[in-house]
Amino acid sequence: MLGYETVRSKDDGKFEVDLEGGDGERLYPGLSYGENQLRWGFIRKVYGILTAQIVLTTLVSSITVLYNPINDLLRGNSGLLLFLSILPFILLWPLHVYHQKHPVNLIVLGLFTVSLSLPVAVSCANTDGRIVLEALILTSAVVCSLTGYTFWASKKGKDFSFLGPILFTSLIILILTSFMQMFFPLGSTSTAVYGGISAMVFCGYIVYDTDNLIKRFTYDDYILASVTLYLDILNLFISILRVLRSSDG
């Protein structure tokens, strides 16, 4: 029967589980069995791309940190470093335009990931290795915990779409504050507080964007979904690194 699965009980009796009615393992209430299977496939695809991005960032950062000529080139050339900082914003446009056109979307995604990885690598190279490792461990723990919580909460029927306006407003405030630091540098304590607030905002974004991944991103938006989560994780790592570095200093 369509939408039903026959299950054999311990006493060899039979009963039917209505997969579409709510007795199956679903991502969130009201999702049909077929749609649930498609959504899980989409989620696996997004996390596969996200894993590749994180691995690429790790490789670029490791090479930059361990190979001194690259590190010295980036640190000694402020113009090049500024260009690399602006390049990801430039690549966002073709990434958005071609996000459904294969393989152009993957090529642009690779360039976008590398362009973000280099400034992060320079920041890691100028930080004690112990602090970088601590930030990496904390980021991994937080991301896994928040992701697991969001999947569990969605299964229970919770919705996090209300976080969108709050997080967007908080992000604008963080951006304006970062620009103000160029003219009015913050002290170590203020920098630690700023990093802590930034970490909280991007923790919220991880929950919000994971909820969007489960419920709202269309199946053709796998590139945009992976980029969104990648930026959340990368910014969380940078925020935690800023807090640990300020505390150590």
Reported as a single tens digit per residue, the pLDDT across 126-174 is 888 889 899 999 999 999 999 999 999 999 999 999 999 999 999 999 9
Of 195, 199, 206, nearest to 230 by C-alpha is 206
Q: Calculate mean pLDDT across residues 108-128.
A: 87
pLDDT one-digit tens code per residue, 187-203 = 777 788 888 999 999 99
pLDDT at residue number 16: 44
pLDDT 10s digits, 84-95: 778 888 888 888
* Mean pLDDT for the stretch of residues 35-57: 94
**Residue 177 φ then ψ, to 5°:** -65, -40
Q: What is the pTM (predicted TM-score) of this model? A: 0.84
User: Among positive and negative, which fits the CA dihedral 47, 50, 56, 59?
Assistant: negative
d(CA 50, CA 27): 20
Q: Is the per-residue pLDDT at 112 higher than 50? A: yes
Q: What is the pLDDT of residue 149?
A: 96
Return the higher-pLDDT residue of 87 and 80: 87
The whole-number pLDDT of residue 249 equals 59
Tokens 């390049």 belong to 87
Residue 51, both tokens: 């894993």
DSSP H or E stretch at residue 18: strand 14-18
Q: Dump pLDDT digits (tens) for 48-78.
A: 999 999 999 999 888 888 877 777 777 767 7
Q: How far apart are CA 225 and CA 50, in angstroms?
A: 9
Span 216-232, pLDDT tens digits: 898 889 999 999 999 99
pLDDT of residue 118 exceeding 80: yes
Dist. CA 120–CA 236, nearest whole Å:
12
Q: Is the dihedral of CA 249, 233, 194, 197 positive or negative?
A: negative
Domain boundaries defined on the chain: 4-248
Residue-wise pLDDT for 6-22, tens only, equals: 444 444 444 444 433 43
Q: Over range 25-30, report the average pLDDT.
A: 83
